[in-house]
Amino acid sequence: MQPAEPTPTRLDAEQYFALVARGDIRPDDRVELLEGVVVSMSPQGSPHANAIARITALLVRSIGSRAVVRVQCSFRAGRYNVPEPDFAVVPGPLERWEHEHPSEALLIIEVSDSSLPTDRLSKAAIYAAAGVPQYLVVNLPGDRIETFAGPDTARARWADMQQAVRGGHIPLVALPGLSLAVDDMLPRR
């Protein structure tokens, strides 16, 4: 009797996409690959869903044709990471991504309520390691935006972390001349 093949302890992006292609992971399964582990995503509550709609309109209006805004789509953030950020602003044109998921982004945004610890810790490190120039966490319970810039890819850390509060603006690092108003990203009071 031959010994069983060892089960991989981590999936890489290619193995993950093979599961999707075979139908083992379905589009409605709401999962992502983080550090080689298939992780289920939290269900969306009304405040989260409303924030997605509000920020989608803001990004499309603000960025226009300077880049492509992808909403809740896969992003190849390295060998073992395929998160589905709420927003990935990626270089265009749109046709560039017809046959592959982006592996570079100008800006990543996560809307956080119950997912705040994952977005602050795990995903922040993943996006820094991937060299994303700027990462924003829309902290719904805290009523603020947490900003991360200056990725240190080797150490999977950020050089600059700040809190943006109502009344403020967040300059977009990779899109000079553009900024987002904090009030436009958070729920109305």
Q: Return averaged pLDDT per consecutive 10 residues of the chain, 189 residues in all.
A: 66 94 91 95 90 97 96 96 97 93 97 92 97 98 97 97 98 97 94
The answer to the question of residue 14 being in a domain is no
The answer to the question of residue 63 being in a domain is yes
- Which contacts (CB < 8 Å, 24+ apart) does range 172-179 have? 172/106, 172/107, 172/134, 173/107, 173/133, 173/134, 173/149, 174/89, 174/106, 174/107, 174/133, 174/134, 175/63, 175/66, 175/67, 175/89, 175/106, 175/107, 178/62, 178/63, 178/66
Note whether 76 and 102 are within 8 A (CB): yes
Residue 27 has a pLDDT of: 81
What's the CATH code of the domain at 166? Answer: 3.90.1570.10
Residue linked to tokens 């001349």: 177
Give residue 107's Cα distance to chain centre: 8
* Cα dihedral 22, 24, 29, 35 sign: negative
Residue 189 has a pLDDT of: 80
Note whether 138 and 185 are within 8 A (CB): yes
The answer to the question of residue 11 being in a domain is no
The answer to the question of residue 99 being in a domain is yes
The answer to the question of residue 18 being in a domain is no
Residue 44 has a pLDDT of: 86
For residue 78, the enclosing domain spans: 44-185
Residue 89 has a pLDDT of: 98
Distances (CA, A) of 155 to 108, 109, 130: 19, 21, 11
The answer to the question of residue 25 being in a domain is no
Regarding pTM above 0.85, the answer is yes
The answer to the question of residue 2 being in a domain is no
The answer to the question of residue 37 being in a domain is no
Question: What is the domain count for the chain?
Answer: 1
R_g of the chain, CA atoms, integer Å: 17
Continuous segment of H or E residues that includes residue 125: helix 124-129
Please choose, from the candidates 95, 97, 85, 92, the residue with its C-alpha nearest in 3D space to the C-alpha of residue 55. 85
Q: Kindly state the tokens that stand for 121.
A: 């810790």
Distances (CA, A) of 153 to 21, 93, 127: 30, 26, 9
Note whether 83 and 77 are within 8 A (CB): yes
